[in-house]
A = this chain, B = another copy of it.
Amino acid sequence: MTLPDGGPGGTPQSMEGKAMHALVERLYPICRSITGDGLRRTLDIIGEYVPLSVTEVPTGTTVLDWNVPKEWNIRDAYVKDPSGRRVIDFRASNLHVVGYSVPVSGTYSLEELRPHLHTLPDRPSLVPYRTSYYAETWGFCLSQDTLDGLGDGPYEVLIDSTLEDGSLTIAEHVVPGRLAEEVVISCHVCHPSLANDNLAGVAVAVALARTLREPRYTYRFLFMPGTIGAITWLALNRERLHLVRAGLTLACAGDPGPLTYKRSRRGDAEIDRAVTHVLRGREHSVLEFSPYGYDERQFCSPGFNLPFGGLTRTPYAGYPEYHTSGDNPGFVTPAAMEDTLDALKQVVEVLEGDGTYVNLSPYGEPQLGRRGLYESLGGRSDTKQAQMAMLWVLNLSDGEHSLLDISRRSKLPFADVKAAAEALLDAGLMEEKR
């Protein structure tokens, strides 16, 4: 059976930008929340691309300082005007209902409805995204333009939802490595029809997972609801957290802005050094850690203090389409997702390839020429980057500097430094630090 490029399938194969975008479009219509069948349907689809192990955690389970909430499901919702027309219609966009709205059915004047209506007066054509997970209420989101056109009513209002004991769903895809130490990539999957936040992140994570072949480290991809999902995963995996060598939360991975890296709480963990080095060659920005944004705020809470950074393109709340109907599949581009994926592949390359070596001929430079590692014609001023990389590796391989350190200090691409190290190992000029 031949799979279309990037399509579902058990066999790892590369996914291009178009395939990632197709996955975004496929997931976009589903009404996700922090629990419920929309979330399960989403994970089923992801599972067509990469095998997932799914955990259901019952309502009421204590997870750290929290409890798993009731499960929310919704079938339909509307506000009908006196003529019977759906002026607000869940079927048109699931953003129209405040997430976790309790069931409601009745007739309301506009005046009575107003406290339940949410708009963005400063962006009057967009529908906002709102939730109320932990305070039982109900509401509708609509554009200010729509609101401005509404008469006094009365309106027939329906929210056909359930909020009942059930479970919270989290899913993991693991690529086993030679080592038990783990690199964790975490994507929130709780948002309904928002493309950049975070279907693009999901698509890029899936694409990255499919590139990994017998890696050194174990790679764990987490697809779970924001906040309560991360808290649940942390609660369930507390005993295993010492295995986390590096982590990234991946979000907003498809908008046209440049990549943005937010440092871990530690500030200079290996993941921080790896990502900032990889981003050197691209337009990008680096933010210091702050305890807000995505689930890095849970992974980096002081009790855990895991080495988790955050990778986005334009960061959270940094674009006008953020948490609105403007964040649709047209807002994310195949090229941007490819760029995010490419940076992540390089980060993986650094994590996989890093190591610390000891120069066995540390007194003066070893004579590279007689080992075929140095060009014989002297006097030229355009020494090749490969030779420069060898000199840097030899000079700094005193057991105190890793290849990543050497890349950073020499400002040479990691791949060149790695290749130099391998040539020097082959020539017997270095050995791995014990």
Contacts and interface: CB of A to CB of B under 8 A. Distances in A.
Interface of A: 64-66, 98-99, 128-135, 137, 227, 230-231, 234-235, 238, 265, 288, 290-292, 297-298, 300-305, 316-317, 322-323, 359, 361-367, 369-370, 376-381, 383, 388, 391-392, 394-398, 409-410
A322 B79 CA distance: 74
B230 A301 contact: no
B129 A379 contact: yes
Given A292-B383, A379-B129, A369 B135 contact: yes
A395 B362 contact: no
Given A134-B367, A292-B391, 13 more contacts: A129-B379, A131-B377, A132-B376, A132-B377, A227-B365, A234-B364, A265-B395, A291-B394, A297-B391, A298-B364, A301-B364, A303-B362, A304-B362
The DSSP consensus for interface residues of chain A is loop
Contacts of A378: 99, 130-133
Contacts of A288: 409
A317 B317 CA distance: 48
Nearest to A298: B364
B361 A65 contact: yes
A379 B131 CA distance: 6
Contact of A365 (B265, B298, B317, B392): B298
A197 to B, nearest CB: 10
In the complex, which of the residues A227, A301, A379 has the most CB atoms of chain B within 10 Å of its own CB atom? A379
A362 B323 contact: no
Given A317-B381, A381-B322, A363 B396 contact: no
Given A130-B378, A370-B134, A381-B322, A395 B300 contact: yes
In the complex, which of the residues A230, A290, A409 has the most CB atoms of chain B within 10 Å of its own CB atom? A290
B388 A292 contact: yes
Contacts of A230: 364
Contacts of A135: 369, 376-377
Contact of A363 (B129, B130, B137, B304): B304
A403 to B, nearest CB: 15
A324 to B, nearest CB: 9
Contacts of A304: 362-364
9 contacts: A64-B361, A64-B363, A132-B378, A134-B376, A234-B363, A290-B392, A291-B396, A301-B395, A302-B396
In the complex, which of the residues A131, A292, A301, A388 has the most CB atoms of chain B within 10 Å of its own CB atom? A301
Contacts of A131: 377-379
Contacts of A265: 395
Nearest to A398: B302
Contacts of A376: 132, 134-135, 137
